[in-house]
Each structure stands twice: as structure tokens, then as C-alpha cells.
Structure 1
């Protein structure tokens, strides 16, 4: 739901409540007018405050979005670096294991030839 819809609903509800209170009040007309003016001033102040708070909330949300995007980029870069480091660390081990496997195959072939000759 959009903030503008919430603000509009708040304003309409405030106006309806003020009108209901005025219609149900058993006071002289001049007093009702003064009360209405005071209530409308309060309502205007509340709407102004609500607009300010909505603006602050919007700014906070935008700031949070920007910071989140920055952190996600940094995290992605760190993960890529970690993977690259892992690959460079493990590469010598892989070469060593391949060499050992090749030696074992050669010995197996030699053993086959030795037993085949007998």
C-alpha cells in the first residue's frame, strides 16, 4: 500500500471525525466555530508532521537500499576473491595428486609386465 493512500485515509478519517464531533455537540454556534478552527489547525499540524515523517521514512528507505546494494557488491567481490584464492591454494595439490596417480599407474603397468613374463 502506498504512503499517499495511508495519508489520504488518515486525512479523510480525521475530517469525518471532526465533522461528527461538531454535529453532535450541543454548543452555541460561535463556540463550535472556535472549536472547529482549533481542530482544523491541529489537523493541519498533524498532516504536516505526517508528511515530514513520511519524507524521513522515504529518505531512510532510499539510504538503506543504497547501502544494501553497496554491501552486496562488496560481498560478491569478496566471495570471488575467496574462490580464486581457494583455486590457487588447491592447484598444487591437484597437480601432486595427478602425479601420484600417474606413478601408481606406471607401477601397476610394471607389475603387470613383471607378472606377465613369469
Structure 2
């Protein structure tokens, strides 16, 4: 938001996009901790460790949907749809790669 101000914009103009990107980022961290079975994130108990695996999975999914919704609410539809599609490509690639690993290699 400070970047928007630095180039003559306002925080209000970028708030929804910034919130959407932050939600997507945090969702990726929650899901990463689930996949890697990490009990700690930044010195604190991970979401899965603190609340349970199922709750962490739902929280990550909810944050992903909130992020996409925020992006879609924030401006010209075509530009926001393009921004919403961007994180889906690497997520799909990661999911395919993870599913292709033999179970013993995933741990």
C-alpha cells in the first residue's frame, strides 16, 4: 500500500488486491506446513499443530477462496481474473508433482 502512495495512488485503490494477495500467501503457508508436517511456523505452533489437521486444511482453503474473492472484487474484471488465475498455475503444477511421487518419496 505504501508503494501505491509512492506513485501517487491511495491505499484504498489497492487495499482489496493487497488483502487478496496476503490471503493467498498465508493459505500457501498453512498448506505448506500441512504437506511438510512442520509443527512450527516463524517460531510459533503451525496452524495444523495448534488447531488440528482438518481445521488447518479448511482454514487454508478458506483463505484461498477469500483471496480470490478479494482480487475479483477490486477492479476491472479482466485484469482481476488474470490476477486470480496467476496463483492457480503453480498450485496445479505443485499438486500434480506431489501426487506423482511414490508415497515413500513424499515423506
- What is the TM-score of this pair, normalised by structure 1? 0.31
In terms of fraction of residues, the more helix-rich structure is 1
